[in-house]
Amino acid sequence: GGRQISCGLRINPGYSEVTVPLYDPAGPGSRLGVSAETFKKGLAQGRFDGLSGIHFHSLCEQDADVLVRTLDAIRSSFGEWPQGLSWINLGGGHHITHPGYDLNLLVQTIDELRAETDAVIYLEPGEAVALNAGWLVATVLDLFQSQTMMVAILDTSAACHMPDVLEMPYTPACFLLPAPERSGRASNWYEGKDASAQPYSVQLAGPTCLAGDVIGTYSFECPPLPGDRIVFTDMAIYTMVKNNTFNGVPLPAIMLNDCDGNLKELRRFGYSDFKSRLG
């Protein structure tokens, strides 16, 4: 009378259009999923008898046309789908909410796969669920001239709070929000652009001992000063689940801005949270 177990197998399509190796689960030598050769050999030996589902994940921020080519590659290298599959999981990485994504092609592809296999088709929730959502609000702690450029030290760290900035790497979009006491500047938002696009160029960096704890070099219409806020956008993805307390840097508080514009604090972290992890 217990819960019925559904046994699935992850395969490696052997096909990928992901350009960043760190995020390529179907790249050469990947440990994620069995190869076509191993799969066909196991199928012939009866090792996969009772298999309920097949799973693969080979996309990263990509459109439906890449999924179509991936499925074609699977059919070509793996052969026909096993008989009696209950489900097929197409993994994540589908940029469904991105402007210009071909939803009609996705629906058509899923319908064709369902008709071909009579299986339930799953898509994993991914970046699309929270695309362009979430702000990470930092405060400028210090400003100084290095040997090569102006540097602003923030209370936010790339290494601690937005590791994808270093891992991918990429430079997140941001805005400068001057402190209330800055006459004529307060309440205005200034977009951070490429280093040479606007009058004031500055490197935004974290407070840790890691030399490479650099978020990026930006330019602003007005200079950032200590006490100003830097608001990084599109930060709901991975920041909370991957952040850490390297160097004892505090974790950001988690705030909720509701539909009426009310700001509510959900969680604030302190030294006790850092200390409790160390026993």
Question: Terminus-to-terminus CA distance in the chain, angstroms?
Answer: 41
17 burial via Cβ count (<10 Å: 0-12, 13-18, 19+) = middle
Residue partners of 129: CB distance under 8 A and separation at least 6:
97
- Please tell me the predicted confidence (pLDDT) of residue 176: 97
Amino acid at 58: S
- Count CA within 13 A, CB hemisphere, residue 241: 3
Residue partners of 55: CB distance under 8 A and separation at least 6:
8, 9, 10, 11, 33, 88, 89, 91
Domains and CATH numbers, the chain: 8-129 (3.20.20.10), 136-256 (2.40.37.10)
Cβ atoms 42, 1 nearer than 8 A: no
**Residues 227, 234, 106: CA angle, nearest 5 degrees:** 175
- Count CA within 13 A, CB hemisphere, residue 278: 9
Tokens of 4: 């019925």
- Please tell me the predicted confidence (pLDDT) of residue 277: 83
Residue partners of 232: CB distance under 8 A and separation at least 6:
135, 136, 137, 138, 156, 162, 172, 173, 174, 215
Per-residue pLDDT 10s for the chain (279 aa) are 678 889 999 999 999 999 999 999 998 889 999 999 999 999 999 998 889 999 999 999 999 999 999 999 999 999 988 888 999 999 999 999 999 999 999 999 999 999 999 999 999 988 888 889 999 999 999 999 999 999 999 999 999 999 999 998 999 999 999 998 887 777 789 999 999 999 999 999 999 999 999 999 999 999 999 999 999 999 998 888 899 999 999 999 999 999 898 999 999 999 998 888 887
